[in-house]
């Protein structure tokens, strides 16, 4: 496989992160080797971009990542969202109100 023609996306929780919420030395080395051969590495996560970075110290993210459960594409290199797709407020507000009504203190 020509790593220079590929992008590898990894989920974080239960995939890239181990039971201590860290990237193992073995996985870190594999990512660095892959990028060193020209590959592009990104995450695909439900997390918010800056929250994800807290768990990825010194992990190179050199391709735009899928964040917020697929609601956005974020480029860690530029610090900008390139695509976003959020729920319209008129659709989300009734659901949120019901959740708060049925689960007080949510």
Segment 52-78, tens digit of pLDDT: 999 999 999 999 999 999 999 999 999
Question: 105: helix, coil or strand?
Answer: coil
pLDDT tops 80 at residue 34:
yes
Provide mean pLDDT across the span 3-25: 94
Indicate the helix (H) or strand (E) that contains 65.
strand 65-67
Q: What is the pLDDT of residue 105?
A: 85
Give dist(CA 97, CA 55) in Å, integer: 32
Q: What is the pLDDT of residue 2?
A: 84
């Amino acid at each position: 496989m020509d790593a220079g023609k590929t992008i590898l996306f990894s989920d974080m929780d239960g995939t890239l992160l181990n039971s201590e919420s860290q990237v193992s030395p073995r996985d870190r080395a594999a990512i660095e080797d892959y990028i060193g051969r020209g590959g592009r590495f990104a995450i695909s996560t439900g997390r918010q971009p800056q929250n994800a970075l807290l768990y990825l110290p010194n992990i190179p993210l050199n391709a735009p990542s899928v964040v917020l459960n697929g609601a956005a594409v974020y480029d860690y290199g530029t610090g900008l969202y390139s695509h976003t797709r959020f729920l319209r407020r008129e659709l989300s507000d009734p659901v949120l109100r019901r959740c708060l009504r049925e689960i007080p203190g949510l």
